[in-house]
Chain A
Amino acid sequence: MSCVAVLVDHDRGIPSGGALEALTAARPLAADLGVAVNAVVLGDGELFDAHGADLVAACAAYGAACVHRGRHALLADYGPDAWGAALAGFVEIAGPVAVVAAGTDRGAEAMAQLAARTDLPLVANCVDVSPAGSPADASSGRPAGEAWQITRIQWGGSLLEDVTLTSTLPLLTIAQHSVEAETANSSTTDVDVVDFEPELGPQVRQTLVRDRVTLTEGITLSTAPVVVSGGRGVGAADGFAPLEELAELLGGRVGCSRAVTNNGWRSHADQVGQTGTRIAPEIYIACGISGAIQHWVGAMGSKNILAINIDPEANMVTKAGYAVIADLHEVVPAICDEIRRRRDRPT
């Protein structure tokens, strides 16, 4: 039976959050097309021995009726060529009606590799997909038709683009955080597991991960429950000390705007925004940041936002749920003092 195939991108056996979102997004699409959702995971024997059962269980929980495991020694670790070639092999064997992946670094890259190999169009970072033949939508004025009607993000999410897609095999990536990953209701016990061995030429070796270096232990900017960010308003590199302190007190991480990285005050690894990191903390504390659209798209996944800014009209302030209109150099140390005072207070 044909399927909507979802590439479940993973890092040494741990699926990305985006992959679970992509599986979630694929369910209504597959239902529209009257086919099942299948998952594709790539690895070698050792990886599947260690993580195969967990990967299959995760795919099943998020609605995959069948998991295709691409096995090959050259899939022991990630490599864009190896993943692209394996996906192309899968498409030939299984004949899916569409292939979907997350708009993560790996998902996006492997899908572009597949698109290049098959010379098919790839629509990146979709937020809404209506396959051909789906009913017209009166509210958006969208006609029913032969081509697929898709809405995707541009400018990192600042703009939306409606496109039509004409293709023998639609290839899509799903914009991260555009759907919330939700487990499927259906029973998960009768998932099929099918192994396939893609043919991989020696040239894929060139782009395999050779080595990796860990710089941050524990929580990272994209996973931190609290992010305390500073912008041009912080004024200098050493102006970040109180922000570091606040982040430390709250078990969070420090972020910054592009104005800060451009001034060399902090490393680009800390930058939040379109060309930086997308964050999704419980609370984002934005200090001295104006809230330009390219910054906002990186921060808008935050559940709550507190803006500390001297300008009550700043975008960050008007878009935030909470604001303090004052000098960050006074407010941030006062917050740190207040936290310490409460913690020291005997209860």
Chain B
Amino acid sequence: MRILVCVKRVPAVGSRINVTDDGQQVDTAHLGFTTSPHEECAVEEAAQIVERLDGDDHAVVVLTLGPEASAEQLRYAASVGGSEFALVTAEGGLDWDPQRTAVAITDAVRELEAAGGLFDLILFGNESADGGNFQVGIRVAHALGRPIVNGIKGIDVGERGFTARRETDAGYEVYELEAPCALGVKEGINLPRYPTMKGRLASRKAQIQELDCAGGADAGGQSRVRLHRPPERASTTVQLGDSAEAAPAVVDLLDELGVL
């Protein structure tokens, strides 16, 4: 089985997010980078799927579109179960509009499949942590003519494809897709592993294939003017106490709010 996972490099932001003076990006002067959380789970899911299969004729190919530095996220993926790696270099930063991103990723998938064969499954995150466009995976899958369902929190391999569970407010819905297909997964589908010693070694040895699919992709119709922080909710905190003695005051409050 060949599985492709598309991951995005995003700033590892802390308790508040700062923006550069020109408003064009998150100020990463004091920040590291990480893999967007849903996609970290997608890599883990792909690794678990192939580990459950017999034989060793399986691949977990991890692809990212971004600046050269995104190789860091591919190396991390190598330490937690990825086996092949593709970097689609995007000039001008890593935060393209979603249409342009989707076109470049689609081209990259076609190139990878021409060389290595069809992917039985392509995994995306439900949404990227920063942009949150909720569409790149769906655009790519549609361009490739493959079915996709988003919001997936469980995957089982079947005879001809995959059974996928999508979380709802009260439980889950079940979908059945024939391979080749795509799924957008959500955090919570699994608990991603930490890199082991062996994993760290694999990471250092990982061969990263660079693809230049970005050339043909025009900018989409959505274009950034600036990023800014939402106004903070001004609040004065009423302190109800500094010990368990505060309990009556808390219960008074609950009573006042009508939830008692």
- Which residues of A are interface residues toward B (Cβ below 8 A)? 11, 78, 80-81, 103, 105, 108-109, 111-113, 115-117, 119-125, 147, 149, 153-167, 173, 203, 206-217, 220-223, 225-226, 250-252, 261-262, 264, 267-269, 271, 274-276, 282-283, 290-294, 300, 303-304, 306-307, 315, 317-326, 330-331, 333-335, 337-339, 342
Taking a contact as CB atoms under 8 Å apart, the answer to whether B242 and A339 are in contact is no
Q: Is B132 an interface residue (CB 8 A)?
A: yes
User: CA–CA, A129 to B223, complex, Å?
Assistant: 14
Interface positions, chain B 209-251, Cβ under 8 Å from A, are: 220-230, 233, 235, 237-248, 250-251
User: CA–CA, A306 to B252, complex, Å?
Assistant: 13
Residues of A within 8 A of B102 (CB): 116
Does more than half of chain B's interface fall in helix, strand or loop, or is it mixed?
Answer: mixed
B62 shortest CB reach to chain A, Å: 20
Taking a contact as CB atoms under 8 Å apart, the answer to whether B242 and A325 are in contact is yes
Segment of B66-74, B171-179, B196-204 in the binding face: B171-179
Q: Is B97 an interface residue (CB 8 A)?
A: yes
Pick the contact of A124 from B19, B135, B167, B258 — CB < 8 Å? B135
Taking a contact as CB atoms under 8 Å apart, the answer to whether B250 and A324 are in contact is yes
Taking a contact as CB atoms under 8 Å apart, the answer to whether A112 and B130 are in contact is no
Would you give 17 A-B contacts (Cβ < 8 Å), ordered by A? Answer: A109-B151, A113-B138, A115-B135, A116-B102, A121-B97, A155-B17, A155-B132, A161-B225, A210-B175, A212-B172, A214-B171, A267-B188, A275-B186, A292-B15, A318-B237, A331-B247, A334-B244
Supposing A112-B135, A211-B174, A330-B244 touch, asked if A290 and B15 sit within 8 A by C-beta, the answer is yes
Supposing A112-B135, A264-B191, A339-B251 touch, asked if A154 and B227 sit within 8 A by C-beta, the answer is yes
Residues of B within 8 A of A226 (CB): 259
A256 shortest CB reach to chain B, Å: 12
Pick the contact of B241 from A11, A156, A324, A337 — CB < 8 Å? A324
User: CA–CA, A161 to B171, complex, Å?
Assistant: 33
User: CA–CA, A192 to B219, complex, Å?
Assistant: 40
Interface residue total, chain B, C-beta cutoff 8 A: 82
Residues of B within 8 A of A283 (CB): 253-254, 257, 259
A75 shortest CB reach to chain B, Å: 15
Pick the contact of A326 from B19, B150, B235, B242 — CB < 8 Å? B242
User: CA–CA, A151 to B66, complex, Å?
Assistant: 24
Taking a contact as CB atoms under 8 Å apart, the answer to whether A163 and B257 are in contact is no
Supposing A120-B221, A162-B226, A214-B170 touch, asked if A261 and B188 sit within 8 A by C-beta, the answer is yes
Taking a contact as CB atoms under 8 Å apart, the answer to whether A324 and B149 are in contact is no
